[in-house]
Amino acid sequence: MHFDQLRLIRSPNIVPVSYRQLMARFGNARAALEALPDLIRRGGGKRVVLANEAAIAREFQFVQAFGARYVFIGDADYPYLLSHLDNAPPVICVKGNLELLACPAVALVGARNASAGACQFARQLAFELGQMGLSVVSGLARGIDTAAHAGSIESGTVAVIAGGIDVVYPPENRALQHAIAERGLLIAEQPPGTEPRARHFPYRNRIIAGVSAGTVVIEAAPKSGSLITARLAADAGLEVMAIPGSPLDPRSRGCNQLIREGATLVQNASEIAELISPLDNRILAPPVKWEPSIAVIADDSSHTERSAVIDRMGMTYVSVDELVRQSGSSPSTVQMVLLEFELAGKLERGAGGKVRLAT
């Protein structure tokens, strides 16, 4: 079963949303894989390529030999909060103690070039949060992330990395990354061997925010990845907190801006724990089984229906609701047409679930 799931996930043009839609439509990964060629053809795809079975087998072997394992969405030990993201990763690769995400977790994120004072503060904060029984989540980057992991290595630290589970980054954190895999928890979404690229970091950030009941930002530039993480947390209905700073210190601008946008100003571990604890029950409750059928899609689509939707798409992003209105088709039919089109590599999804023709 997991073999089929990973093969489906690694097949071309499968993203978290299309994985979810296929699982909802076909019930399991094998049925989805069998239907895939038809769907791709209906979407106008010329070449039908599924992930190579031997490669999938090698990937499982490598991960096992590396001492890591896969956790699929829908598995009992898949992080409960994470499964609630619209674009929750269909699979994560984990090495270490997954139990750390069975306790309430708080993300500490911030600038790579943070001041020494802020790094010391982050380390102490992570230590105190750990003493309060919270797991500390961060991204293993330089600066604040490193300090957060260092402060919570004894109590329970979770690092989400942008590349593959076996790829060390940044190089100076080699020893820390190994220590976290041994004593904490290391999480990767990209396949083994993947070198982290700029485009991977927003994906990593959504996992940092998504596994944590709350995200705390310490010293961040106004347009930094830390602020993206914070906004992802807010979008997912999770708690967003920020450590304030003097307007005379340019490094405070991102955090102060977040507070102006509605993040809660926090000054110490108790103020953070106060905002996290009400979620305990939600996290500690026996997880409800993951239900992929949130996006209702039609059983099939006719040529006429496909044309009605596709004729209304162009190079600019449009919302699915707008396509439903303009095409006169049902929402489930429009979703099916878009899925087929996406699997054929002809669709791009943007912010807010908007879609356009692939360039």
Q: What is the binding site for its own copies (CB under 8 A)?
A: 117, 121, 243-249, 252-253, 256, 259-260, 264-265, 267-268, 271
Nearer to its own copies, 254 or 292 (CB): 254
Nearer to its own copies, 28 or 264 (CB): 264
CA 25 – CA 65 distance, rounded (Å) = 34
| Structure token digits, residue 311 | 């004729």
Kindly give the pairing relationship between strand 105-110 and strand 214-218. parallel
Q: In angstroms, give the least distance from the CB of 17 to its own copies.
A: 36
Q: In angstroms, give the least distance from the CB of 294 to its own copies.
A: 36
Nearer to its own copies, 267 or 330 (CB): 267
CA 184 – CA 175 distance, rounded (Å) = 13
C-beta separation of 68 from 98 below 8 A: no
Nearer to its own copies, 28 or 124 (CB): 124
Nearer to its own copies, 9 or 119 (CB): 119
Q: In angstroms, give the least distance from the CB of 246 to its own copies.
A: 5
Nearer to its own copies, 237 or 247 (CB): 247
Environment class of residue 338 by beta-carbon count within 10 Å: exposed (0-12), middle (13-18) or buried (19+)?
buried
C-alpha pair distances (Å), 249 with each of 114, 142, 244, 253, 266? 11, 20, 10, 8, 18
Q: In angstroms, give the least distance from the CB of 117 to its own copies.
A: 6
CA 70 – CA 145 distance, rounded (Å) = 24
Q: Residue 44: which H helix or E strand, with range?
A: none
C-beta separation of 87 from 73 below 8 A: no
Q: In angstroms, give the least distance from the CB of 111 to its own copies.
A: 14
Around 228, how many Cα atoms within 13 Å sit in the side-chain half-sphere? 16
Q: In angstroms, give the least distance from the CB of 249 to its own copies.
A: 7
